[in-house]
Amino acid sequence: MAQDPGTRRSERAMGLPSVTALVAFEAAARHEGFKMAAADLNVTPAAVSQQIKALEQDLGFALFHRNARGVTLTDAGAQLFRAVRRGFDGIARTIDQLRETSLNEDVSLQATTAVSAFWLTPQLTRFWREHGDIAVSQTVTDSAHVARPCDLKIFYGSPTDEVGDVQLLFRDWISVLGSPHFLRRHAPILPEMLATLPVIRMHAEDRRWIDWREWAQLTGYDGGFGPGLRVNNYAIAAQAAEDGLGLILGWEALLRRVIDSGRLVRVLGPRIEAPHAFYIVARSGAPAKALLLRDWLVASARAA
């Protein structure tokens, strides 16, 4: 029952006696004898006796009454036994819960509303066709702050924005999109018409998303913009554009399914590359099934 010196130092730092001695004490108290405790721990009775003596010396009081018939707990020993049992029982319950959680808990994944609606959820539909045994719980939020960190997080920004194993998902291009009906009604759409045409403005908490002002700076457009709807959710903005309410700055990779279906079309050039990219980060200690999902999403994004 030798003990690593580093373990002894950490126990001393917490004001605890030797854990090895406490294990020997718990077994001896439970069996009311050193012989059966030794059999339980697969050591000799002398080793158990030595641990108990060392523990009593360390504590400064006796834990057992010793007589010819064996040993019985002192009042102090009985009190310590109850405390040790509570501690060991609590540890055992926690380990069981952690094992159960590790086996059954969903993979948790955080994404913004737009990423979830336009890119992630369709990807998960395909993923489940191959890995139907892996349950995924999405935390959909446009806020950077969540109460409980997820196993995985998809974010737009730079790889240094998050702590963990960060991998690139995809880069994106931005262009002016509108519905086919909007295009037919106003065609041909020229850059100077932006000063009077309705444009849908997005006000996001994350200032890294491109707005019309930044688009103008990047493209060299020096005119104004017409009135239009203001929203703080990109999924709503895209739906409003589909409904013909105005023009939108379209993130083409994010909206690929919408564009491919013809529900939104490019009405005005040029395309500009988004200054940042979409990444996925796995938190430290993420379970293997979360890493499997991460790798699958990365491969799918790069194959697109």
Q: What secondary structure does DSSP assign to 279-302, as a single string?
A: EEEE-TT--HHHHHHHHHHHHHHH
Could you identify the residue written with the tokens 């379209």? 250
Evaluate whether 219 touches 173 at the Cβ level (below 8 Å): no
Can you give the residue range of the structural domain that contains 94?
5-103
Please tell me whether residues 167 and 75 are part of one structural domain: no
Residues 74 and 195 in one domain: no
Same domain, 90 and 138: no
pLDDT of residue 103: 52
Domain match, 135 and 232 both: yes
48 with 195, same domain: the answer is no
Q: Are residues 146 and 198 in the same domain?
A: yes
pLDDT band of 146, cuts 50, 70, 90 = low
Q: What is the mean pLDDT of residues 153-167?
A: 93
Q: Are residues 133 and 266 in the same domain?
A: yes
- Tokens matching residue 65: 């009454």
Which amino acid is it at 78?
A
Whether 102 has a pLDDT exceeding 70, the answer reads no
pLDDT per position as a tens digit, 6-32: 444 444 445 678 888 999 999 999 988
**252 with 278: CB under 8 angstroms?**
no
Q: CATH number, domain at 23? A: 1.10.10.10
Query: What is the reported pLDDT for 11?
Result: 44
pLDDT at 263 over 90: yes
Tell me, what's the pLDDT at 46?
92
Tell whether 116 and 90 lie within a shared domain.
Answer: no
Which residue in 272, 278, 271 sits closest to 297, CA to CA? 278
Q: Based on the structure, what is the number of domains in the chain?
A: 2
The token pair that represents 265 in the structure block: 């079309």
- Check if the beta carbon of residue 126 is closer than 8 Å to that of residue 300: yes
Same domain, residue pair 278 and 299: yes
CATH number where 140 lies: 3.40.190.290
Q: Which of 61, 81, 103 is the last residue of a domain?
A: 103
pTM higher than 0.85 for the full model? no
Buried b (16+ CB within 10 A) or exposed e, 265-280: eebbeeebebebbbbb
